[in-house]
Chains A and B, each alone.
Chain A
Amino acid sequence: MSRFQPPYPGYDVLAKWDTPSWNDPTRRVVAERLTRVPERRFFDPHEWATLHAVCDRLIPQPDRLEPVPIAPFIDDKLHRHQSDGWREESMPRMEDAWRRFLKGIDEAAQARYGRPFVDLGPEWRDLVLRAVQKREAEGGAWGDMDQKTFFEKSLLREAAGIYYAHPAAWSEIGFGGPASPRGYVRLVADRRDPWEAPLEREDEA
């Protein structure tokens, strides 16, 4: 796997913090996200460590000195019982589903490699996660919970939602970020406002 080259290396959405692209409500929300990473309140220490290990494989961030925190926001959501507004009938309740998953991958890791998930190397961790995605993970914790559904519709969805809500990720993909009161003027392809990420072609030049 070749190394990942973010397309907009010089762009930082936070540089717009004090410009008309950001307003107070947005600054409040994003400041909270950046400075007040939730502490562990829902999971036990082992689950917490396992979830960190999982998120580290779902969205690896070897390029960052300070990786975007993902697991703490999952813990926070579960602690606050913050529902998405629905759950699939065939799935257990949210809190239960996450616990089953974390127990399940430990059981699968034990079955395959004789040790808990957190003690596996990256390749083995990936193999366990791929097994879950293919509904092939061992263990009794899963019960009747569909492994693939949980993996893609809950776990992966949640992790991606948290990562791409972080300014570091916005900068990484060249997203304009918050935009109120100032929005955008130039809507044409390959055209940008001065307050957007430079075009990839400009960077090359």
Chain B
Amino acid sequence: MSAEDTPRAVHGRAPDVFRRGGWVPMRCFDDEEEVDFAIVGTGAGGGTLAARLAEAGFSVVAFDVGAFYRPLEDFASDEREQSKLYWRDERVSGGEHPISLGSNNSGQSVGGSTVHFQMVTLRFRPEWFKARTKLGYGRDWPVGWREMWGYYAKAEAAMAISGPISYPWGPPRGRYPYRAHEVNAAGQVLVRGARAMGVAWAPTPLATISAPRGLAHPCVYRGFCKSGCSTNAKQSVLVTYIPRALKAGAEVRDLAMVGQIETDDAGRATGVVYYRDGRWRRQRARNVVAAGYSIETPRLLLNSATARFPDGLANSSGTVGTHLMVHSNHAVWGEMDEEIRWYKGPPSMAVCEHWNYEDQKDFHGGYAFMSQGPLPVDYAQSFVSNTGVWGMELRRRMANYNRMAGLKIVGETMPQEKNGVTLAEERDRFGLPVARVTFGYCDNDRRLYEHSLRFMRRMLKAAGAGDLFETESTAHLMGGCPMGFKPDDSVTDADGRTWDIDNLWICDGSLFPTAGGVNPSLTIVAMAERIADRIVALAGRGELERRGRRLGALAG
């Protein structure tokens, strides 16, 4: 029976991600049993929170619409096959610059997008948490950087990040748990360019281990990271927090689509309605956490509208499904004299954050850029859809595959109210209205990526590349249910607790008030670590059922 067809985590056991055919015991809750937390989504936000809350002694059930894989036996070394890890249920993408969805920004499996992410785990620049006050754009975060610095360290420890001894940008950080990997040839191109341009570079801090860790094998540099790691070297939430959650007594329900969060007459959440194993069910819960990421979380809140909450849950401010951000993913590619063979090793082994920390520029925000190593299908598809090349010329250009090198940005975009998520007319396989995503770049976004293209062109040339060409795409999702300081312009407070419903929480990337110029996963995990600590602290003060003094919460 395949993991995609029949739920695996049932009857008191769940797949053991470290052993072929293995199982670990799992505590199971009855639908009628009112659990402390029902968490919708098991990715960087939900999976992390499930582990932390279960370890704190709460009863937890975590739902994921995706399958529960054992990477060692379920993941093939094949790009097409492994697209099973991407969100492939229908969505509609519109706006001035419709973004592509799925492979580059949303996953569908237990562990969420971290199962196919490229493992780049960078911290935010401290000033970004006060983007409005310190840098003059976007919004401030209701969380300070010093506090986040501690949670970053926690997240890095939990995911055993392999990173450099000293990182050239930002305030000091502790030693990474594991040493940085050898930088592959593709990364050395960035290194050469950075030295020629006089900017700093670093081996990318990566969530893939450079030495054994328990039953997880160290990275073998097979390069299929984006297609799921069959080595178990990748420290995804699937192989880090999920086993912890199970061990601590959480239940994980795979192939379980939550369609609605139920609320009672008093306007409090009472549980979730979910579809699993052929029928709709209802799980009662004292608290509900939406952790489905920037599209599914707003979609769920909107799909849960009632007479009392006609615009969707937690939406009195009208900000649910607004301020969605992406990272511009513009890239420059060129042909080298040497054979680079970028398919070896994780795709982005060297990073330059120069323009995240340099403020003399004609745009707000920043970008990091990294060396690249797309596998053939990924590269071919990006190449043809950007250049329009076909015919014999396509085969000729693709034959340069082993000589190619590239630099690609993770470019910050501005939070704009018009970019976001609404419900479309169409319905998905569960009969639920699908998400309609709207996105358009603003002038600042354009200035940013144009700057990056100019810079990377010069740098790639300096590194010895010829026949340059550019591609554009987007990656990652941030925002959609921004957290903030006031109930009238945000969905949640600093703890991810919705302003409108005391026992409804959000714990994922949709909370981001601004995007930052780095990959979001580490920040999502760090936020989840923080939210877990806050929930434990609130419970200790007896403020879990009812919010404490509103002013107190505001001051916090």
Residues of A with C-beta under 8 A to B90: 83, 85-87
Task: Give the residue among A4, A86, A129 with the most B Cβ atoms within 10 A.
Answer: A86
Known: A157-B385, A173-B398. A89 touches B93 (CB 8 A): yes
* Residues of B in contact, count (CB < 8 Å): 69
Known: A178-B77, A184-B222. A4 touches B395 (CB 8 A): yes
Q: Are B385 and A181 in contact (CB under 8 A)?
A: no
Known: A174-B401, A184-B220. A86 touches B92 (CB 8 A): yes
Chain B residue at minimal CB-CB distance from A192? B341
B167 within 8 A of A: no
Known: A89-B94, A165-B79. A25 touches B73 (CB 8 A): yes
Task: Give the residue among B98, B341, B436 with the most A Cβ atoms within 10 A.
Answer: B341
Q: Which of A177-205 contact B (CB under 8 A)?
A: 177-192, 196-197, 199-200
For the A-B complex, the count of residue pairs with Cβ-Cβ distances under 8 Å equals: 207
Residues of B with C-beta under 8 A to A165: 78-80, 376-377
Interface of B, helix, strand, loop or mixed by DSSP:
loop
Chain A residue at minimal CB-CB distance from B424? A89
Which stretch, B145-153, B182-190, B255-263, B300-308, touches the partner chain A?
B182-190
Known: A161-B377, A174-B402. A59 touches B344 (CB 8 A): no
Query: Closest CB-CB distance, A150 to chain B, in whole Å?
Result: 11
Task: Give the residue among A126, A176, A182 with the most B Cβ atoms within 10 A.
Answer: A176
Q: Report which of A28, A86, A179, A186 forms a contact with B222, defined as CB distance below 8 A.
A: A179
A153 within 8 A of B: yes
Residues of B with C-beta under 8 A to A133: 388
Residues of A with C-beta under 8 A to B344: 176, 183-184, 186-187
A35 within 8 A of B: no
B265 within 8 A of A: no
Q: Are A189 and B188 in contact (CB under 8 A)?
A: yes
Number of contact residues on A: which range applies?
35 or more
Q: Are B222 and A183 in contact (CB under 8 A)?
A: yes
Query: Closest CB-CB distance, A196 to chain B, in whole Å?
Result: 7
Known: A180-B231, A183-B222. A189 touches B80 (CB 8 A): no
Q: Are A187 and B88 in contact (CB under 8 A)?
A: no
Q: Which of B397-439 contact A (CB under 8 A)?
A: 398-399, 401-402, 436-437
Residues of B with C-beta under 8 A to A180: 75, 77, 220, 222, 224, 230-231
Please, could you name 14 A-B residue pairs with CB atoms under 8 Å apart, sorted by A? Answer: A4-B399, A59-B395, A84-B100, A85-B89, A86-B437, A87-B90, A87-B91, A151-B388, A159-B390, A164-B376, A175-B343, A181-B220, A184-B345, A187-B344
User: Nearest 6 CB-CB pairs, A to B?
Assistant: A183-B220, A89-B94, A85-B102, A178-B77, A183-B222, A179-B222
Known: A160-B383, A187-B185. 4 other contacts (CB 8 A): A4-B399, A84-B100, A172-B395, A176-B341
